[in-house]
Each structure stands twice: as structure tokens, then as C-alpha cells.
Amino acid sequence: MTPTYSKKTALFPGTFDPFTKGHYSIVQRGLCIFDEIVIAIGTNTKKQPMFTEAQRIAMLQQIYADEPRVSIISYDGLTVDIARRHGAQFMLRGARSVIDFEYEKSMSDVNRVISGLETIVLFTEPIYAHISSSTVRELICFGHEVNEFLPDGMILPERKTLNIPQK
């Protein structure tokens, strides 16, 4: 009997405001495990993003224009529902610290109970562990250059189009 092969698809959800080298590393390493990764830009009602949804999509499209195994979507609602809608059998997540891991473990348990989806957590490479989207946003607010924290090829929108709080 010939074994059946099923395409392994993972959903990588987040606000990605902005997408950093740490996120990029998780996707690249995830492509060694999965056949396809759907990067899902979620709406978080508790956050006021600096970059619009359209800007975040455009930035990710710059990076993954030549990678057919990565697709980019935006969504609101339950992440597990979006995963199912896009044929994902797995959630891909990253963890920089024990605190991140505890949060991801709780979410993984809930997601498995309500949907049966398994979560694969990849630990951030040490070289990127200090990078967070919130730190990058803070640096942008104060006019600091942030390219060293962003994936190669990603170009930020013009500063005047960003949602930056007034000082």
C-alpha cells in the first residue's frame, strides 16, 4: 500500500506591526517543516497599529514576492477559524522567552480543544531574541533608523503615512 501524502500547511498569525527579522527567521525555518505557510495579519482590538493593514501586507509582499510557498492574508475573528478556512492543519508560533512560551502553551491548549489544530512553537534564534515589534515601533517614533531589525528587502512606508503618536 502506498502511503498518502497530504500537504502540510501552517498558519503563522500575528499583528506584525512591523514584521521583524525574528518573524522572518521563524517563517524561513518553518518552510523546512511545512509545505506552505500562510502569514495571517490579524486585527487586535486592544492595539492601535502604527502601520495600516494595507501597509503591512505590502511590506510582506515585498519580502515574499519570489516565495510561492508563502501567502499573506489579513483577518479578524478567531484565528482557528481562519486556519481552517485556509486549509492549515498547524499553527506556527515563535517564542523569545519563557513568558512567550507560557502564553503560547495556553493558547495552544485552547486551540487544540476547540479546533484540533496542533501548534508548533519555534524558539527565536538568540541573535534575534532582543527584537520585538514594539521596540521597533518605539525606535521609529523617536526617528531612529530600524533597518537592522527588519528583513532584507523590506521597505517601510513613508513616515508621514504612519500612525505615530504626537510627542
From 96, 112, 115, 132, active-site residue? 96
CA pair distance 158, 74, nearest whole angstrom: 21
Among candidate residues 23, 56, 93, 137, the one labeled active-site is: 23
Is-catalytic flag, 23? Answer: yes
47 included as an active-site residue: yes
Residue type present at position 79: T
Integer-rounded Cα Rg, in Å, for the chain is: 16
Q: Are strands 118-123 and 36-42 parallel, antiparallel or unpaired?
A: unpaired
3-state helix, strand, coil in the chain (%, to 5): 40, 20, 45
Catalytic residue among 47, 85, 144, 159: 47
Query: How long a stretch of residues is the chain?
Result: 167
Catalytic one of 56, 93, 133, 137: 133
13: number of Cβ within 10 Å: 22
Q: Which residues contact 8 (CB under 8 A, 6 or more apart)?
A: 33, 34, 35, 36, 89, 90
Compute how many other C-beta atoms are within 10 angstroms of the C-beta atom of residue 111: 19
Positions marked active-site = 23, 47, 96, 133
